[in-house]
A and B are shown apart, each in its own frame.
Chain A
Amino acid sequence: AQSVTQPDIHITVSEGASLELRCNYSYGATPYLFWYVQSPGQGLQLLLKYFSGDTLVQGIKGFEAEFKRSQSSFNLRKPSVHWSDAAEYFCAVSAGSARQLTFGSGTQLTVLP
Protein backbone atom coordinates (compact mmCIF):
# COMPACT_ATOMS: atom_id res chain seq x y z
CA ALA A 1 0.00 0.00 0.00
CA GLN A 2 1.09 3.52 -0.66
CA SER A 3 2.28 5.83 2.13
CA VAL A 4 3.62 9.33 2.54
CA THR A 5 6.05 10.54 5.18
CA GLN A 6 6.59 14.14 6.12
CA PRO A 7 9.45 14.00 8.63
CA ASP A 8 9.10 17.57 9.88
CA ILE A 9 6.05 18.17 12.06
CA HIS A 10 6.76 21.86 12.54
CA ILE A 11 9.12 24.27 10.77
CA THR A 12 9.80 27.89 11.67
CA VAL A 13 11.42 30.28 9.24
CA SER A 14 11.90 34.03 9.09
CA GLU A 15 10.08 36.05 6.48
CA GLY A 16 12.22 36.30 3.37
CA ALA A 17 14.15 33.14 4.11
CA SER A 18 14.08 30.11 1.85
CA LEU A 19 11.97 27.10 2.63
CA GLU A 20 12.14 23.39 1.96
CA LEU A 21 9.51 20.95 3.19
CA ARG A 22 10.37 17.29 2.91
CA CYS A 23 8.16 14.53 1.58
CA ASN A 24 8.97 10.88 0.99
CA TYR A 25 6.56 8.43 -0.55
CA SER A 26 6.22 4.72 -0.91
CA TYR A 27 4.38 3.44 -3.95
CA GLY A 28 5.05 0.56 -6.28
CA ALA A 29 4.32 2.26 -9.57
CA THR A 30 4.89 5.72 -10.99
CA PRO A 31 3.28 8.05 -8.48
CA TYR A 32 1.08 11.04 -8.99
CA LEU A 33 2.24 13.48 -6.31
CA PHE A 34 0.66 16.58 -4.86
CA TRP A 35 1.22 19.32 -2.36
CA TYR A 36 -1.79 20.90 -0.67
CA VAL A 37 -1.92 23.80 1.76
CA GLN A 38 -4.43 24.28 4.54
CA SER A 39 -4.86 27.59 6.30
CA PRO A 40 -6.56 27.55 9.72
CA GLY A 41 -10.23 26.66 9.44
CA GLN A 42 -9.98 26.34 5.69
CA GLY A 43 -10.11 23.57 3.17
CA LEU A 44 -7.24 22.11 1.20
CA GLN A 45 -5.85 24.11 -1.68
CA LEU A 46 -3.73 22.50 -4.37
CA LEU A 47 -0.27 24.07 -4.65
CA LEU A 48 1.18 21.87 -7.38
CA LYS A 49 1.17 18.39 -8.82
CA TYR A 50 3.47 15.97 -10.58
CA PHE A 51 2.12 13.44 -13.05
CA SER A 52 5.00 12.86 -15.44
CA GLY A 53 7.63 14.67 -17.49
CA ASP A 54 9.78 17.46 -16.09
CA THR A 55 10.69 16.55 -12.54
CA LEU A 56 10.72 20.17 -11.39
CA VAL A 57 7.18 21.46 -11.20
CA GLN A 58 6.01 24.98 -10.59
CA GLY A 59 2.95 25.78 -8.56
CA ILE A 60 0.98 28.69 -7.28
CA LYS A 61 2.22 31.32 -4.82
CA GLY A 62 5.83 30.90 -5.95
CA PHE A 63 6.19 27.29 -4.79
CA GLU A 64 8.01 24.56 -6.67
CA ALA A 65 8.71 20.91 -6.02
CA GLU A 66 11.18 18.42 -7.38
CA PHE A 67 10.42 14.75 -7.94
CA LYS A 68 13.40 12.50 -7.30
CA ARG A 69 12.61 8.90 -8.09
CA SER A 70 15.92 7.59 -6.74
CA GLN A 71 15.16 9.12 -3.34
CA SER A 72 11.38 8.59 -3.45
CA SER A 73 11.05 12.25 -2.58
CA PHE A 74 8.94 15.19 -3.63
CA ASN A 75 10.21 18.15 -1.61
CA LEU A 76 8.47 21.51 -1.70
CA ARG A 77 10.54 24.68 -1.96
CA LYS A 78 10.09 28.42 -1.98
CA PRO A 79 13.00 30.85 -2.35
CA SER A 80 11.54 33.61 -0.17
CA VAL A 81 8.76 32.98 2.34
CA HIS A 82 6.01 35.51 3.02
CA TRP A 83 4.11 35.83 6.29
CA SER A 84 0.96 34.72 4.47
CA ASP A 85 2.58 31.34 3.78
CA ALA A 86 2.08 30.32 7.41
CA ALA A 87 -0.18 27.27 7.18
CA GLU A 88 -0.12 23.50 7.24
CA TYR A 89 1.30 21.74 4.20
CA PHE A 90 0.34 18.26 3.13
CA CYS A 91 2.09 16.03 0.65
CA ALA A 92 -0.08 13.37 -0.98
CA VAL A 93 0.22 10.48 -3.39
CA SER A 94 -2.57 9.38 -5.69
CA ALA A 95 -3.26 5.70 -6.10
CA GLY A 96 -6.01 3.16 -6.38
CA SER A 97 -8.61 2.70 -9.07
CA ALA A 98 -10.34 5.91 -8.01
CA ARG A 99 -7.04 7.72 -7.60
CA GLN A 100 -7.85 8.62 -4.05
CA LEU A 101 -5.18 10.56 -2.21
CA THR A 102 -3.08 9.27 0.64
CA PHE A 103 -1.85 12.19 2.71
CA GLY A 104 1.19 12.67 4.85
CA SER A 105 0.75 13.85 8.41
CA GLY A 106 1.48 17.44 7.45
CA THR A 107 4.09 20.07 8.27
CA GLN A 108 3.03 23.17 10.17
CA LEU A 109 4.89 26.23 8.92
CA THR A 110 5.38 29.26 11.17
CA VAL A 111 6.79 32.45 9.65
CA LEU A 112 8.55 34.91 11.93
CA PRO A 113 8.49 38.64 11.11
Chain B
Amino acid sequence: EPEVTQTPSHQVTQMGQEVILRCVPISNHLYFYWYRQILGQKVEFLVSFYNNEISEKSEIFDDQFSVERPDGSNFTLKIRSTKLEDSAMYFCASSPYAIRGKNTGELFFGEGSRLTVL
Protein backbone atom coordinates (compact mmCIF):
# COMPACT_ATOMS: atom_id res chain seq x y z
CA GLU B 1 0.00 0.00 0.00
CA PRO B 2 1.42 3.41 -0.92
CA GLU B 3 2.53 5.53 1.99
CA VAL B 4 4.01 8.89 2.84
CA THR B 5 7.65 8.57 3.83
CA GLN B 6 9.64 11.06 5.86
CA THR B 7 13.34 11.49 6.52
CA PRO B 8 15.09 11.76 8.85
CA SER B 9 13.13 10.04 11.57
CA HIS B 10 15.05 11.99 14.19
CA GLN B 11 17.34 14.98 13.88
CA VAL B 12 19.25 16.76 16.60
CA THR B 13 20.53 20.23 15.83
CA GLN B 14 22.03 23.24 17.53
CA MET B 15 19.99 26.39 17.97
CA GLY B 16 20.46 28.73 15.01
CA GLN B 17 21.23 25.97 12.52
CA GLU B 18 19.21 25.31 9.39
CA VAL B 19 17.23 22.11 9.12
CA ILE B 20 15.58 20.48 6.12
CA LEU B 21 12.96 17.82 6.66
CA ARG B 22 12.08 15.69 3.68
CA CYS B 23 8.91 13.97 2.63
CA VAL B 24 7.90 11.79 -0.27
CA PRO B 25 4.13 12.04 -0.66
CA ILE B 26 2.03 9.35 -2.25
CA SER B 27 2.69 9.57 -5.95
CA ASN B 28 -0.69 10.55 -7.39
CA HIS B 29 -1.59 12.96 -4.61
CA LEU B 30 -2.10 16.62 -5.30
CA TYR B 31 -2.13 18.41 -1.94
CA PHE B 32 0.76 18.37 0.50
CA TYR B 33 0.89 19.51 4.10
CA TRP B 34 3.18 19.98 7.04
CA TYR B 35 1.96 19.71 10.59
CA ARG B 36 3.82 19.78 13.85
CA GLN B 37 3.19 18.32 17.28
CA ILE B 38 5.07 19.70 20.25
CA LEU B 39 5.46 17.01 22.90
CA GLY B 40 2.23 16.55 24.81
CA GLN B 41 0.30 19.03 22.69
CA LYS B 42 -2.11 18.86 19.80
CA VAL B 43 -1.22 18.45 16.16
CA GLU B 44 -1.02 21.89 14.55
CA PHE B 45 -1.33 22.85 10.91
CA LEU B 46 1.66 24.66 9.43
CA VAL B 47 1.20 24.90 5.68
CA SER B 48 -0.52 23.41 2.66
CA PHE B 49 0.89 23.25 -0.86
CA TYR B 50 -0.94 22.76 -4.13
CA ASN B 51 -0.02 23.30 -7.73
CA ASN B 52 3.55 24.25 -6.78
CA GLU B 53 2.63 27.00 -4.40
CA ILE B 54 1.52 27.55 -0.83
CA SER B 55 -2.27 27.48 -0.65
CA GLU B 56 -2.68 28.22 3.04
CA LYS B 57 -0.44 28.72 6.04
CA SER B 58 -0.96 29.22 9.73
CA GLU B 59 0.40 31.97 11.94
CA ILE B 60 3.05 29.51 13.11
CA PHE B 61 4.50 29.39 9.60
CA ASP B 62 6.54 32.58 9.78
CA ASP B 63 9.53 33.74 7.74
CA GLN B 64 11.88 31.16 9.23
CA PHE B 65 9.91 28.40 7.52
CA SER B 66 9.76 27.58 3.84
CA VAL B 67 8.51 24.70 1.75
CA GLU B 68 9.58 23.45 -1.61
CA ARG B 69 8.82 20.71 -4.07
CA PRO B 70 12.21 20.56 -5.79
CA ASP B 71 11.32 17.67 -8.07
CA GLY B 72 8.37 15.46 -8.89
CA SER B 73 8.56 13.41 -5.73
CA ASN B 74 10.02 15.28 -2.76
CA PHE B 75 8.36 17.87 -0.56
CA THR B 76 10.62 19.65 1.92
CA LEU B 77 10.23 21.84 4.97
CA LYS B 78 13.14 24.14 5.74
CA ILE B 79 13.61 25.85 9.06
CA ARG B 80 16.18 28.58 8.52
CA SER B 81 17.43 29.32 12.01
CA THR B 82 16.12 26.86 14.53
CA LYS B 83 14.96 27.89 17.99
CA LEU B 84 14.49 25.78 21.07
CA GLU B 85 10.72 26.01 20.65
CA ASP B 86 10.94 24.39 17.22
CA SER B 87 11.58 21.08 18.94
CA ALA B 88 8.63 18.94 17.90
CA MET B 89 7.48 16.06 15.76
CA TYR B 90 6.88 17.25 12.22
CA PHE B 91 4.37 15.35 10.13
CA CYS B 92 4.05 15.46 6.39
CA ALA B 93 0.73 14.55 4.82
CA SER B 94 -0.68 14.30 1.33
CA SER B 95 -4.16 14.15 -0.07
CA PRO B 96 -5.39 12.73 -3.36
CA TYR B 97 -8.54 14.57 -4.16
CA ALA B 98 -9.14 17.60 -6.26
CA ILE B 99 -12.70 18.03 -7.44
CA ARG B 100 -12.99 21.22 -9.42
CA GLY B 101 -9.86 22.37 -7.68
CA LYS B 102 -11.16 21.61 -4.18
CA ASN B 103 -9.77 18.96 -1.91
CA THR B 104 -12.18 16.73 -0.01
CA GLY B 105 -9.79 16.50 2.85
CA GLU B 106 -8.70 12.94 3.52
CA LEU B 107 -5.06 13.22 4.53
CA PHE B 108 -2.49 10.45 4.66
CA PHE B 109 0.26 11.05 7.18
CA GLY B 110 3.86 9.98 7.36
CA GLU B 111 5.37 8.66 10.56
CA GLY B 112 6.97 11.99 11.38
CA SER B 113 10.39 13.52 11.84
CA ARG B 114 11.34 14.30 15.39
CA LEU B 115 13.38 17.50 15.63
CA THR B 116 15.34 18.23 18.77
CA VAL B 117 16.93 21.68 19.05
CA LEU B 118 19.65 22.04 21.67
A interface secondary structure, majority: strand
C-alpha gap A65/B50 in the complex (Å)? 30
Q: Which residue of the partner chain, among A46, A90, A98, A106, contacts B106 with CB atoms under 8 Å? A: A46
- Give the A-B contact count at a CB cut-off of 8 A: 65
Q: Does B108 contact A (CB under 8 A)?
A: yes
Are B48 and A98 closer than 8 Å at their CB atoms? Answer: yes
Which chain A residues lie closer than 8 Å to B43 at the CB level?
A: 44, 90, 101, 103, 106
Are B48 and A100 closer than 8 Å at their CB atoms? Answer: yes
C-alpha gap A42/B33 in the complex (Å)? 17
B interface secondary structure, majority: strand
Q: Which residues of B contact A (CB under 8 A)?
A: 4, 31, 33, 35, 41-45, 48, 50, 55-56, 91, 93, 95, 102-112
Are B44 and A94 closer than 8 Å at their CB atoms? Answer: no
Are B56 and A100 closer than 8 Å at their CB atoms? Answer: yes
Interface residues as binary, A49-73 with B (CB distance below 8 Å gives 1, 0 otherwise): 1010000000000000000000000
- The verdict on A44 contacting B104 (CB below 8 Å), with A97-B55, A97-B56, A103-B42 known, is no
